[in-house]
Structure 1
Amino acid sequence: MTTGGGPAAYEISFGPFLLRANERLLTKEGVVVELGARTYDLLIALTSAPNEVISKQDLIARVWPEVVVEEGSLRFHMNSLRKALGDGREGARFIKTMSGRGYCFVAAVSRALTLHLPAAASSNFPHANLPSRLNRIIGRDEDVLQITGQLETCRLVTIVGAGGIGKTTVAIAVGHGLSDDFEGAVLFVDLGMLSDARLVTTAIASMLGIQVGAGDAQTSLIAFLRNKRALIVLDTCEHVVETVALLASSLVEAASQVYILATSREPLKIEGERVYRLDSLACPPDDRTASEAAIRQFPATRLFIERAVANDTHLALDEADAPIVAGICRKLDGVALAIELTARRVEAYGVRQTAALLDQHLTLQWTGSRTAQPRHRTLQATLDWSYELLSELERAVLRRLAVFVGHFTLDAAVEVVASSNLDRSAVLGAVDSLVAKSMVVTRPIGAMLRYRLLDTTRAYALATPLQAHERADLAVRHSIYYQRWLAQSAGDWASKTTGAERASYFAALNNVRAALEWCFGEDGEIAIGVKLAAAAGPALLAMSLMPEALRWSRCAILALDDNSRGGVDEMHLQAVFGIVATHLYGKIDAALVALNRGLEIAEARGDVVNQVGLLSMLRTFYFRSGDFKTAHAYARRCKGSADTIQDFAASAQARSILGRSLHLAGDLAAARVELEASLLDWTVAGRTTIYLSHELHFPSEVTMVRNLWLQGFPDQATERTHKVIESAVRTDRPAALTVVLGWAVSVFLWTGNWEHAQEHIDALIYQAETNSLGPFIAAGRARRGELAILRGAAKEGVEDLRASLATIHSIGYEVLTTEFNISLIRGLKAVGNVAEAAELAERTIRNVERKGDDLYMPELLRIKGNVLLAISQRHDEAQACFRRSIDMSRLQGARGWELRTATDLARMMNEDGNPYQARKLLEPVLGLFVEGEGTADVREAEQALAEIIGSASFI
């Protein structure tokens, strides 16, 4: 697929780069330069008008047509483009920012007409999961070609046809054919595994690794895909068609580079949809004079012959048998599934007997309802016939296998299907036979072969009811198997990040959902459901399925009885509920009650590992709400519990939260000790309870980089900040990356690296919006306000900070409030609102004294001193603030704060005619900095010292 069309296109060259706009291909000295879809659009727009200023509004309109985006998105992709081009490195200049006007492409550009070449392919889409295609697809080449062509002109195509006609096969073939054009970004979503339409959007979002919040999952999915170029194949939509229609319509409208290929038994019936009706395979006409060679040319008979031969059948089609095969294909209406099922029987019955059996049973079926679709009647007849050809053992196993939703393993089949009257070896033999007879299909997922009943086969098997006691026993075994599987795989969930790694786990989760629905249903087993929900909660949490984790943990907690209260299951349920409720809703009483109840049970049971996990979450609960003293007490308690056992994961978590609490308390040396020990413990920690290690090592790392800057190592802090961000990106954990960005941006702001700050603030907002992380959306916008003030746009920054802080207060996410207030005070002073700035400074100081984030007190006192200087030159009061700030900085070991205050106080002293004292104050503080020569504070201090030394009064 191309985005320009035509056999010829213009090549655009500039510097060492060559851009083929029609192919969306950029190379540097012959090597492909990888760019995202929006970044390509940005480059094409800029190079289309070299040396001309293009306004930000025009660029947004070109790159995001008919989509409302914030200017931050433009800056984010502009920074990505500059980084890819090496703009600013070794004197290279390509894009110039025209302050207040827009952007201009300033490099020399030349154009040439060239032949169209195919776009280069890459595999940088970690969630690609397109199933393997058949080695040879019979009779569908024209269909694949036409559907591919329709997708070039229409971004939504639905393949419509009867069940078993081959829609999925064709869709997979189209996906493989277009994989290179989408640079591997093809996602296959089997909706046949979902019984609840409400899970459609959540399932797709989770396959993409998107953190699903309490709000609308569709918003997160659209935000994630808005700037991406991808093909999404939505397979088997008919049972959730209304939900899919609404979602597809929204995606097509909001994500201009996302293409959708759907398969369904009926159209989606939405604007912009192109329907491709997949007909049955062409069959030979009822012509007894047709030759064997002519009959072989029809796709239906070719499929029949190939499938029969593939089943080790010796089929020597002669002039006598050819018309019989043609008749079979016509009776099956050319339905691919029916043909394949029938062809597999030739080995046992031969062509003539197969035709006779088919004839008899189809005749019986035709006497049914005249209003039913003919092809549906034919397929039903084929399934009836196939089922009756099975042995009693095979029928029993097939009926029982219908309990599985989607794929299952052979181990699961044996454990669930076997019973007192059906031993394991018999089940193994029956499954093998059902695979051979095409009643069960196989597919490798990961390193293991998976089994699945086709949708039509499963529906047929479910329509052949089991006895009541057999159905209940089967559902119990199904539920218990997946409860055990969850427990065994608990330590693996957090490490699964890509689509391929998650595929088998999501397949199993569909069975977990089905088992939970049964357990808590009218005829279910609630006691088993409680255990299953307790095992499922951590897994759902690890896979970012928070609303589901909340639903089932709440459901199970409400179902607890006297026998299950106070046990390990309730402990896990309360822990998961408390964690999820905290993440989704912030400071709510229900979360606190649940976490305290879980802790009570863990303490009563002497379960120290889970005590550590729950104490950690209770600390997080108070930490996020800004009650740092209470949070610190829980961190101490958590560390004390962890010290009583030999568990590296528990130690890592406890030392991490204690280190972070000490950091905010201003005890930087002790914080560093705990954080370094935490990171060391994480390197050797093995499998652990998921909610214990939910955030992994990233909070420790990002707190460490802040600690380094504060202790006077700005270069080390910057270097490690880049490393921790890169690590979080590679891990592909959206929540972890958002946490890292939210805190790490401080280092870029403190060092005065505005470009990196802008880039990572844009990334923070994008990640938070994509993954429905409301607190971090507000934090990201507050960071944007901070940067605006530092860059001199104080009015704009104050407005952003006011709005963001209002949101932060409303949701109770107060962890960064002091940091934001400091920036707001600075902004208010800059716009002349010094009285309000002074009042906010006093209020913030009182809040710090009450809540315990003493880390910020030296900077608060410095800012207050500067505000006092702006109010009638109150030098004595300002000097007192500066002196107290320096004393507290030295007590904390916060050389970063100390240098700032020493610079301000030295300048004030020099202005007051005391240059000698000013130099005596500032010079030794600056001398402590052995690195950071290019950072903002060091440059400012050096300039102030030069002014003092060079002042006339000093001479």
Structure 2
Amino acid sequence: MTDLSAGHGPRSGGAGTILDLDAVSFGPFSLRSRLLEKDGVPVKLGSRAMDILRLLVSRAGEVVPKNEILGYAWSGLSVEEISLRVHVAELRKVLGDGKDGVRYITNIPSRGYCFVAPVQRGPRAEPPSLTSRPAEKVTSSPSLPHRLDRMVGRDEIVAELAPRLLRDRFVTLRGPGGIGKTTIAVALAHALCDRFEGNVHFLEFGPLKDAALVASTVAAALGLVVHHNDPSDSIVNFLRGRRLLLVLDSCEHVIDAVARLAEDIHREAPGVAILATSRESLLVAGEQIFELAPLRGPPQGTRLSAGEVLNYPAARLFVDRANAAGHRDDLTDEDAEVLVQICGKLDGIALAIELAAARVGLYGLREMAALLDSRLQLEWRGRRTAPPRQQTLGATLDWSFGLIGENERIVFLRLAVFAGHFTLKGAIAVVAEEETPEERVIDALEQLVAKSLVSSQPDGASRRYRLLDATRAYAMQKLADGGEASVIARRHACYVQRTLEAGLTAQGGSGQMSRSQERAGLLADARAALAWSYANDDGADLRVPLAGSCTGLFVELNLLNEARIWSDRALAMLDDADRGGRWELELQSTLGHAFMFTERNSEQAEAALRRGLEIAQTIGDHANTFRLLSRLNMFYRRTGGYRHLVPTARHAERIARLIGDTAGIAGSKALLGVSYHLAGDQAEAQAHLDEGMRDDAALRGTQPGHFAYSRTPQIPLARVLWLRGYPDRALECVLPLVGASAPRDVVMHCIALCWSASVFGWVGDWSAVETMSTRLATHASMHGLVPYEAVATGFRAQTMIAHGEALGGIDLLRSALPRLHADRYELYMSAFAADLSSGLVSLGRLAEGAQVLHETIDRVEQEGGAFDMPELLRLRGELEAQSGNLDAAEASLVASAELAEQQGALSWRLRTEMSLARLRERQGVRDPREQLAKTYARFTEGVDTADLRAARLMLNPPSA
């Protein structure tokens, strides 16, 4: 422990004493006053970490002793050295210390810390903007499509747009369909990838049919958990302070929703650049329009040589794509004259040029020109009054459609039912029939790819296919005109249902993430199939099984609001044949899980989970029985139903052993460990958590949302270890979380932050509690996890009360506790209520404190008791002693000590023995500290934690 009473100044001050900095810079960072920026974008940094950074930077190159750092950052407070380590770890993470060999802060053992990076001092430098270039070349974002190997006639536009986008931050590429907006957007994103250090997100809205899903789609691409209808605020909160490029492609059919979101992002997130492509302007503040002109073609009526005509991008694109399609004849001067005519008829529209060029090898150049004259009329006016996209390119596609064989036409039209990418297996499933057998589908698909009607791209060892949006719209209309639309849509819905159902079956008890990643590619088709089946009588019989198959996918992708809506809708349509079967089971399970987070811990959530469990047990579905038991266990944890925890966990363990899956068995051990911990049997809890830790790899591989247990058992184990009297081992479990970034499963990460904060509070490291609560609040706000916002407030209040700021802490707790109660989130209420009671008592408001504590104990007893009952009884005994009722106080404290011993909670016992020692001293008992000494002697570690220091001080008081 360090005595900081002689600190160097107030925590928020010091600039005029230790620090005398106008502005300094180091690497990509600039530090001005208490503002840290990276490449011109503000960096969020906690106040303690900022104090440490300012001190170290002001003494760059010097070793600053640890006591001096503690004295400056925690002026007037007594804190552990671990607090310094936690905040230095936070600081190093923010700075990227150690990445690519770059070092900023080094630890000099037994001495202190030193800022070792070169620091530039002097007049304040202008902060870097979006136009500043990072030093290292980086890899492009995984969401960014591959750039074309050769882009014709657009390099100048990319070169012009790059600095404009960096300067203005919001540019819309506007132009008619097929003109090449997406191609330019992809090329521009690749060109700027280095500037944004790889932080480029490409959003393709083409497959999206519902404008209400725009924000959810953006949130999912950014990795945010979606728990409500409109996550726009969560998106803006997430992007605020970040530096990245957001590409919004094909916005015209969802333009109002995109416009609102883009305007908010542009206004609130100055480090984000937005590149949109659309047939019309978004018409919002900040938008800069770039009108994309057609490819420049040779002037009509002129005679040009072959070399001269190729100076024009439209002609060059035509020849390039014709060669790519297999046409190998050299372009002659006579051909050049014909090519001039063709370019004039195609009006410089890239898609039309590519479609025509792909057929030159079949018909020849002159015949192609004749076909254009007789069968193809293009209308490109580029105005708001122009025909819709499918009509605009309809003539081109009519002509292209006329050039392919009958078998290719059948396959082409039927493929239009796919809303996104599809596989060869999917194409065969939807298209093939007796008259169009599998081999014909394969052959036709190859021809359609070769003729540019279907695009293809590698996907690992296989390939993915898709129809361009305009092509798909054209084909869908043709399909409807031919009377096949409903038949093919039904086949598509059946294919989606079968594929997702097979994925659910394959997951079974394991819920491995690789399965989810494969299934995620079906999201657009799942949405399209659901929309069709619920809008058409032909799909009525598919509605329930399709929803049952799709909603599990929504849960895996954290689209819980969609999962809830479709589950609820399908359950309302169940007939007698479906009740009690597989699909009601799946829908009830999904509905209960989604309700827990989108509608809080409602009675409807419990009812749905219980109904699902009843069905699973009746039909002998062990995998779903286990999954539902894990979800019910989480429900009881959240709602304080502690008496139900161990029975449901034991039941889950039996089912896991029947299934025999490694991850399931490990998960059941984690479930049992947490259940015994909360129910108050810490020895059993430790034994089961230790067993779960042995299969840690299997646990970490499970899919988020599939089960409801911790995939990182060391976090609950930390709480158990502290209670059992191993504070140092407990800290070893939670310290790695201090510098860890949020994983994919954000909900479980928030739970880990909550539980870690409680461990840090028990050992008396309130600075670490503050760090955990700040991060928890950030994630809760970012992802719309409302209950965790209240939990973060509770931990912040704990910290304030511990620091003697009782009034402020009480106000925060009076705000947080009703919110938790409204959410039925009882798990943290007893601890926070105890803090509220202690805060009131510290202000002399004994009656109020007693009432809060009495109500809390009554509520916990009604639920069957809990792990913290010994502490609640101890606090009641302290309060009774303070009120002068020593007999009642002794009874409460003895009951606390006995219960702590029964639970195997040595740390609770130590606290109670300190309270009993003080009481017995007042009662005049001989040797009042005898039992305290015996309890203290049972500890083998943690001598520097708060409770053991306090006990040691009582046993060895300083001489007068």
C-alpha distance in structure 2 between counterparts of 1:477 and 1:458, whole Å? 17
Q: Contact 1:764–1:780 (CA<8 Å) still a contact in 2?
A: yes
Segment of structure 1 superposing worse, 541-550 or 444-453: 444-453
1:821 aligns with 2:821: no
C-alpha distance in structure 2 between counterparts of 1:884 and 1:123, whole Å? 63
Q: Contact 2:166–2:273 (CA<8 Å) still a contact in 1?
A: no
Q: C-alpha displacement at 1:598, in angstroms?
A: 1.5
What one-letter code is carried by the residue in structure 2 that aligns with 1:120? A
Q: Contact 2:178–2:470 (CA<8 Å) still a contact in 1?
A: yes
Q: Contact 1:233–1:260 (CA<8 Å) still a contact in 2?
A: yes
Q: C-alpha displacement at 1:548, in angstroms?
A: 1.1
Q: TM-score, normalised by structure 2?
A: 0.85
Q: Which residue of 2 aligns with 1:64?
A: none
1:160 aligns with 2:160: no
Q: Among residues 557, 561, 579, which one is paired with 1:547 in the alignment?
A: 561
Q: C-alpha displacement at 1:21, in angstroms?
A: 6.9
Q: Which residue of 1 aligns with 2:435?
A: 421
What one-letter code is carried by the residue in structure 2 that aligns with 1:271? A
Q: Among residues 906, 919, 940, which one is paired with 2:950 in the alignment?
A: 940
Q: C-alpha displacement at 1:83, in angstroms?
A: 9.2
Segment of structure 1 superposing worse, 718-727 or 114-123: 114-123
Which deviations, in whole Å up to 9, do the C-alpha atoms of 1:141-194 show, x marking residues without a partner?
Answer: 221122212212212111101111111011111111111111111000110010
Q: TM-score, normalised by structure 1?
A: 0.86
With over 3 angstroms needed to count, the CA separation of the structure-2 counterparts of 1:23 and 1:858, relative to structure 1, is closer
Q: C-alpha displacement at 1:465, in angstroms?
A: 3.1
Which deviations, in whole Å up to 9, do the C-alpha atoms of 1:277-314 show, x marking residues without a partner?
Answer: 11111111124243333221111111112111222211
Q: Among residues 125, 134, 142, which one is paired with 1:119 in the alignment?
A: 134
Q: C-alpha displacement at 1:496, in angstroms?
A: 4.8
Q: Contact 2:89–2:738 (CA<8 Å) still a contact in 1?
A: no
C-alpha distance in structure 1 between counterparts of 2:906 and 2:529, whole Å? 58
Q: Contact 1:711–1:896 (CA<8 Å) still a contact in 2?
A: yes
Segment of structure 1 superposing worse, 828-837 or 537-546: 828-837
Which deviations, in whole Å up to 9, do the C-alpha atoms of 1:103-131 show, x marking residues without a partner?
Answer: xx999863499999841347699x74111
Q: Which residue of 2 aligns with 1:406?
A: 420
Segment of structure 1 superposing worse, 847-856 or 716-725: 716-725
Q: Which residue of 1 aligns with 2:4?
A: none
With over 3 angstroms needed to count, the CA separation of the structure-2 counterparts of 1:854 and 1:265, relative to structure 1, is same
With over 3 angstroms needed to count, the CA separation of the structure-2 counterparts of 1:313 and 1:152, relative to structure 1, is same
Q: Contact 1:586–1:812 (CA<8 Å) still a contact in 2?
A: yes
With over 3 angstroms needed to count, the CA separation of the structure-2 counterparts of 1:946 and 1:619, relative to structure 1, is same
Q: C-alpha displacement at 1:525, in angstroms?
A: 2.0
C-alpha distance in structure 2 between counterparts of 1:458 and 1:787, whole Å? 59
3-state SS of 1:861 partner: helix
Q: Which residue of 2 aligns with 1:859?
A: 871
With over 3 angstroms needed to count, the CA separation of the structure-2 counterparts of 1:276 and 1:372, relative to structure 1, is closer
Q: Which residue of 1 aligns with 2:810?
A: 798
With over 3 angstroms needed to count, the CA separation of the structure-2 counterparts of 1:889 and 1:33, relative to structure 1, is farther
Which deviations, in whole Å up to 9, do the C-alpha atoms of 1:871-917 show, x marking residues without a partner?
Answer: 3x544443443333222222211111122222333345557766x72
Q: Which residue of 1 aligns with 2:821?
A: 809
Q: Which residue of 2 aligns with 1:734?
A: 746
Q: Among residues 690, 694, 709, which one is paired with 2:722 in the alignment?
A: 709
Q: Which residue of 2 aligns with 1:556?
A: 570
Which deviations, in whole Å up to 9, do the C-alpha atoms of 1:85-114 show, x marking residues without a partner?
Answer: 54887555689xxxxxxxxx9998634999
Q: C-alpha displacement at 1:737, in angstroms?
A: 0.7
Q: C-alpha displacement at 1:238, in angstroms?
A: 0.3
Q: Which residue of 2 aligns with 1:478?
A: 492
1:787 aligns with 2:792: no
Q: C-alpha displacement at 1:659, in angstroms?
A: 2.5
What one-letter code is carried by the residue in structure 1 that aligns with 2:868? Y
Which deviations, in whole Å up to 9, do the C-alpha atoms of 1:567-609 show, x marking residues without a partner?
Answer: 1121111111111112221332322332222122122212233
Counterparts in 2 of 1:248-327, with a 5 A limit? Answer: 248-327=262-341
Q: Contact 2:630–2:708 (CA<8 Å) still a contact in 1?
A: no
What one-letter code is carried by the residue in structure 2 that aligns with 1:735? V
Q: Contact 2:496–2:525 (CA<8 Å) still a contact in 1?
A: yes
Q: CA RMSD in A?
A: 3.7
With over 3 angstroms needed to count, the CA separation of the structure-2 counterparts of 1:589 and 1:341, relative to structure 1, is same
Q: Contact 1:539–1:690 (CA<8 Å) still a contact in 2?
A: no
Q: Contact 1:725–1:740 (CA<8 Å) still a contact in 2?
A: no
Q: Which residue of 2 aligns with 1:56?
A: none
C-alpha distance in structure 1 between counterparts of 2:942 and 2:41, whole Å? 33
Q: C-alpha displacement at 1:454, in angstroms?
A: 0.5
Aligned residues: 891
Q: Contact 1:446–1:504 (CA<8 Å) still a contact in 2?
A: no
Q: Among residues 261, 268, 293, which one is paired with 1:247 in the alignment?
A: 261
C-alpha distance in structure 1 between counterparts of 2:640 and 2:388, whole Å? 67
With over 3 angstroms needed to count, the CA separation of the structure-2 counterparts of 1:436 and 1:641, relative to structure 1, is closer
Q: Contact 2:702–2:711 (CA<8 Å) still a contact in 1?
A: no
Which deviations, in whole Å up to 9, do the C-alpha atoms of 1:783-822 show, x marking residues without a partner?
Answer: 1111221122222111111100010111211111111112
C-alpha distance in structure 1 between counterparts of 2:311 and 2:837, whole Å? 82
Q: Among residues 194, 197, 201, which one is paired with 1:183 in the alignment?
A: 197
Q: Which residue of 1 aligns with 2:889?
A: 878
Q: Among residues 110, 113, 121, which one is paired with 1:110 in the alignment?
A: 121
Q: Which residue of 2 aligns with 1:896?
A: 907
1:229 aligns with 2:219: no
Q: Contact 2:877–2:892 (CA<8 Å) still a contact in 1?
A: yes
Q: Which residue of 1 aligns with 2:68?
A: none
3-state SS of 2:465 partner: strand
Q: Which residue of 2 aligns with 1:65?
A: none
Which deviations, in whole Å up to 9, do the C-alpha atoms of 1:368-404 show, x marking residues without a partner?
Answer: x997469987633221111110111111111101000
C-alpha distance in structure 1 between counterparts of 2:220 and 2:200, whole Å? 15
With over 3 angstroms needed to count, the CA separation of the structure-2 counterparts of 1:374 and 1:463, relative to structure 1, is closer
1:339 aligns with 2:353: yes
3-state SS of 1:922 partner: helix
C-alpha distance in structure 1 between counterparts of 2:666 and 2:304, whole Å? 78
**Percent of aligned pairs sharing the same letter:** 37
Q: Contact 2:304–2:333 (CA<8 Å) still a contact in 1?
A: no
Q: Contact 1:487–1:535 (CA<8 Å) still a contact in 2?
A: yes
Q: C-alpha displacement at 1:475, in angstroms?
A: 1.9
Q: Contact 2:24–2:120 (CA<8 Å) still a contact in 1?
A: no
What one-letter code is carried by the residue in structure 2 that aligns with 1:707? V
1:38 aligns with 2:39: no
Gaps of 5+ in 1: 1-13, 27-31, 53-73, 96-104
Q: Among residues 669, 673, 685, which one is paired with 2:687 in the alignment?
A: 673
C-alpha distance in structure 1 between counterparts of 2:96 and 2:325, whole Å? 56
Q: Contact 1:38–1:77 (CA<8 Å) still a contact in 2?
A: no
Q: Contact 2:173–2:277 (CA<8 Å) still a contact in 1?
A: yes
Q: Contact 2:639–2:827 (CA<8 Å) still a contact in 1?
A: yes
Q: Contact 1:494–1:542 (CA<8 Å) still a contact in 2?
A: no
Q: Contact 1:475–1:515 (CA<8 Å) still a contact in 2?
A: yes
Q: Contact 2:177–2:392 (CA<8 Å) still a contact in 1?
A: no
Q: C-alpha displacement at 1:449, in angstroms?
A: 1.4
With over 3 angstroms needed to count, the CA separation of the structure-2 counterparts of 1:515 and 1:265, relative to structure 1, is same
Q: C-alpha displacement at 1:321, in angstroms?
A: 1.4
With over 3 angstroms needed to count, the CA separation of the structure-2 counterparts of 1:607 and 1:801, relative to structure 1, is same
Q: Among residues 583, 587, 593, which one is paired with 2:597 in the alignment?
A: 583
Q: Among residues 815, 837, 842, which one is paired with 1:830 in the alignment?
A: 842
C-alpha distance in structure 1 between counterparts of 2:519 and 2:862, whole Å? 47
With over 3 angstroms needed to count, the CA separation of the structure-2 counterparts of 1:203 and 1:83, relative to structure 1, is closer
Q: Among residues 630, 637, 645, which one is paired with 1:616 in the alignment?
A: 630
